[in-house]
């Protein structure tokens, strides 16, 4: 058993303080320019709809807004456990620009995103920058005490409410900086959490949220039924074209052997060997079919070992990190396994990567959440498009109220994050 000392706790708090300040600074540097650009483009694109230009540009701009909002949802969940639901309406596959434009504009979640952007580039910018300011501002007081005040010999330099005119008042500024640093040590992580709580208050607002959630769940359940029907048709086709055909041929060979065993023993032996080979091939096909329905290692060893076994069959170097204290329900494990399988298959086929990292862990906040990330060092550019493998993964996870997020800038790396609410037994 590891005993955490007071010194260890102090170091942990300091790391949390500095980490929160750096995260806030990074957010502030990204929040203002990206939010301003997206908000401006959204207004201009929507304004150009009457002349037709906006019909083409609006879906692309609003997709960027949604990606920006989804990225903030992921950071809120990963850094502070703040869950911000995402309930966008799905667009029909192959929809034309007109349908996509007015379908997205008719989505209440779109207008929540557009209301959030000006909040994010004002109050969001300040709440993200404040933790970094609380870390850096005290060091200005220390610098004044170290002699910086001499740079302003003819003027009074104000440090907060302390007028610095000499060495004594500079020491007063340093003392104030020390007090500020002490309070910042406790307040900085909480201030950054306020940023995400404010984000949730705007993105998750709206009286129609419950009905929208019900509608989304209804769509995901319908997708699940369609997927199941398609899977049953695939199994029927594979049985008919594969194992069944081999078993029929083997039966015919055995009938011929029965006739030839007395008349032509040599020919009977050859046909018997052929029948044995057909039976082995039929058995292998049946095993592959069963493995595609529900891998035995998943049922026997759980999700972690099943993903490790999956990684061993890949032609790329794959590292798997598993931190699961128990097992999820079988349907959740199955959905997670096939989602990971599809993402890994996409990475092998399209990414051009030579290394993949898979991380599976479970957190207990909010009733429990299974989080899976698949990262590759490929060329990037992966997107969730209608009819793509990632869209299928998104529908599969949606059946269990799960979410999928993709970060894949040009040049890589690509990171696919999946979350499924569940508890472990």
pLDDT band at 4 (very low <50, low <70, confident <90, very high): very low
The pLDDT value recorded for residue 114 is 93
Residue 411 confidence class, pLDDT cut points 50, 70, 90 = confident
Least confident of 37-51, 235-249, 328-342: 235-249
Given the structure tokens 């929160």, which residue do they identify? 20
Radius of gyration of the chain (CA): 30
Q: Answer yes or no: do 266 and 192 share one domain.
A: no
Residue-wise pLDDT for 157-181, tens only, equals 776 677 777 677 777 777 877 777 7
pTM for the predicted model, two decimal places = 0.47
pLDDT of residue 116: 92
Q: Are residues 268 and 319 in the same domain?
A: no
- Model confidence pLDDT, tens digit, residues 341-361: 888 888 888 888 889 999 999
Residue 354 counted as domain residue: yes
Cβ atoms within 10 A of the Cβ of 184, count? 24
Region of residue 224 (left: phi > 0; alpha: psi -120 to 50; beta: else): alpha
**327 neighbors 274 (Cβ within 8 angstroms):** no
Please compute the mean of the pLDDT values over residues 17-32 and round it to a whole number: 81
Spatial contact of 170 and 144, defined as CB atoms under 8 Å apart: yes
Residues 225 and 328 in one domain: no
Q: Mean pLDDT over all residues of the chain? A: 79
Q: For residue 222, tell me if it sits in a domain.
A: yes
In the predicted model, is pLDDT for residue 37 greater than 90? yes
Q: Does residue 258 share a domain with residue 355? A: no
User: Over the stretch 309-343, which tens digit does the pLDDT of each residue have?
Assistant: 888 888 888 899 988 888 888 888 888 888 888 88
pLDDT per position as a tens digit, 245-263: 667 777 777 777 777 777 7
Q: Which residues neighbour 192 within 8 Å (Cβ) at sequence distance 6 or greater?
A: 20, 23, 24, 79, 80, 127, 128, 131
16 domain residue, yes or no: yes
Is the separation of the CB atoms in 202 and 90 below 8 Å?
A: no
213, part of any domain: no
Question: Is 286 part of any domain?
Answer: yes
Q: Residues 168, 223: one domain?
A: no
In the chain, how many domains are there? 3
pLDDT band at residue 61 using 50, 70 and 90 as cut-offs: very high
Residue 160 lies in a domain: yes
| Same domain, yes or no: 93 and 140 | yes
- Reported confidence tier of residue 1, pLDDT bands at 50, 70, 90: very low
**Same structural domain, 128 and 26:** yes
Where is the domain boundary, 293, 325, 356? 293
Show which of 264, 293, 322 is a domain's final residue: 293
CA distances from 38 to 11, 60, 88, 112 (A): 39, 11, 18, 14
In 3D, which of 322, 317, 373, 319 has the Cα closest to residue 348?
317
| Same domain for 170 and 38 | yes
Q: Of 293, 321, 337, which closes a domain? A: 293
Residues 326 and 397 in one domain: yes
Does some domain include residue 325? yes
Give yes or no for residue 28 having a pLDDT over 90: no
CB atoms within 10 A of CB 221: 12
What is the tens place of the pLDDT at every residue in 82-136? 888 877 887 777 788 898 899 899 888 899 999 999 999 888 888 888 887 777 7
- At 247, which CATH number? 1.20.5
On whether both 275 and 411 belong to a single domain, the answer is no
Cβ atoms of 355 and 377 within 8 Å: the answer is yes
Ranking 30-39, 105-114, 201-210, 381-390 by mean pLDDT, the lowest is 201-210
- Three-class DSSP labels, the chain: CCCCCHHHHHHHHHHHHHHHHHHHHHHHHHHHHHHHHHHHHHHHHHHCHHHCHHHHHHHHHHHHHHHHHHHHHHHHHHHHCCCCCCCCCCCCCCCCHHHHHHHHHCCHHHHHHHHHHHHHHHHHHHHHHHHHHHHHHHHHHHHHHCCHHHHCCCCCEEECCEEECCHHHHHHHHHHHHHHHHHHHHHHHHHHHHHHHHHHHHHCCCCCHHHHHHHHHHHHHHHHHHHHHHHHHHHHHHHHHHHHHHHHHHHHHHHHHHHHHHHCHHHHHHHHHHHHHHHHHHHHHHHHHHHHHCCHHHHHHCHHHHHHHHHHCCCCEEEEEEECCCCCCHHHHHHHHHHHHHHHHHHHHHHCCCEEEEEEEEECHHHCEEEEEEEECCCCCCCCCCCCHHHHHHHHHHCCCCEEEEECCCCCCEEEEEEEECCCC
* Pair 28, 129: CB distance under 8 Å: yes
Q: Is the pLDDT of residue 67 over 70?
A: yes
350 and 202 in one domain? Answer: no
Q: Which domain holds residue 354?
A: 301-421
Residues 57 and 177 in one domain: yes
In a domain, 212, yes or no: no
Q: How far apart are CA 359 and CA 385, in angstroms?
A: 24
């Amino acid at each position: 058993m590891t005993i955490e000392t007071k010194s260890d706790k102090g170091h942990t708090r300091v790391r949390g303080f500095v980490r929160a300040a750096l995260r806030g600074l990074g957010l502030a540097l990204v929040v203002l320019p990206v939010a301003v650009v997206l908000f401006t483009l959204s207004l201009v694109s929507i304004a150009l709809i009457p002349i037709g230009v906006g019909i083409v540009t609006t879906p692309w701009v609003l997709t960027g807004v949604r990606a920006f909002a989804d990225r903030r949802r992921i950071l809120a969940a990963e850094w502070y456990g703040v869950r911000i639901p995402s309930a966008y309406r799905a667009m029909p596959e192959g929809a034309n620009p007109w349908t996509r434009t007015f379908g997205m504009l008719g989505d209440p979640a779109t207008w929540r995103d557009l209301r959030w952007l000006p909040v994010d580039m004002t109050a969001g910018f300040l709440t993200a920058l404040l933790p970094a300011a609380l870390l850096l501002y005290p060091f200005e007081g220390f610098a004044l005490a170290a002699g910086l005040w001499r740079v302003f010999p003819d003027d009074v330099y104000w440090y907060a409410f302390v007028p610095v005119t000499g060495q004594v008042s500079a020491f007063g500024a340093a003392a104030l900086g020390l007090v500020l640093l002490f309070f910042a040590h406790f307040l900085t992580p909480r201030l950054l959490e306020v940023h995400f709580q404010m984000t949730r208050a705007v993105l998750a607002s709206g009286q129609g949220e419950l009905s929208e959630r019900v509608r989304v769940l209804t769509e995901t359940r319908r997708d699940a039924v369609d997927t199941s029907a398609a899977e049953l048709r695939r199994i029927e086709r594979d049985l008919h074209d594969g194992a069944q055909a081999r078993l029929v041929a083997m039966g015919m060979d055995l009938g011929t052997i029965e006739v030839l065993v007395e008349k032509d023993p040599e020919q009977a032996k050859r046909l018997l060997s052929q029948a044995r080979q057909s039976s082995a091939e039929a058995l292998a096909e049946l095993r592959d079919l069963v493995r595609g329905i529900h891998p035995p290692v998943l049922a026997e060893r759980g999700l972690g070992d099943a993903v490790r076994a999956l990684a061993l069959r890949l032609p790329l170097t794959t590292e798997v990190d598993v931190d699961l204290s128990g097992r999820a329900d079988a349907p959740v494990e199955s959905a997670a396994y096939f989602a990971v399988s599809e993402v890994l298959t996409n990475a092998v086929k399209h990414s051009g990567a030579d290394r993949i990292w898979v991380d599976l862990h479970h957190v207990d906040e909010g009733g429990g959440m299974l989080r899976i990330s698949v990262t590759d060092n490929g060329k990037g550019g992966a997107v969730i498009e209608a009819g793509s493998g990632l869209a299928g993964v998104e529908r599969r996870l949606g059946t269990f109220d799960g979410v999928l997020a993709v970060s894949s800038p040009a040049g890589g790396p690509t990171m696919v994050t999946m979350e499924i609410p569940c508890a472990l037994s």
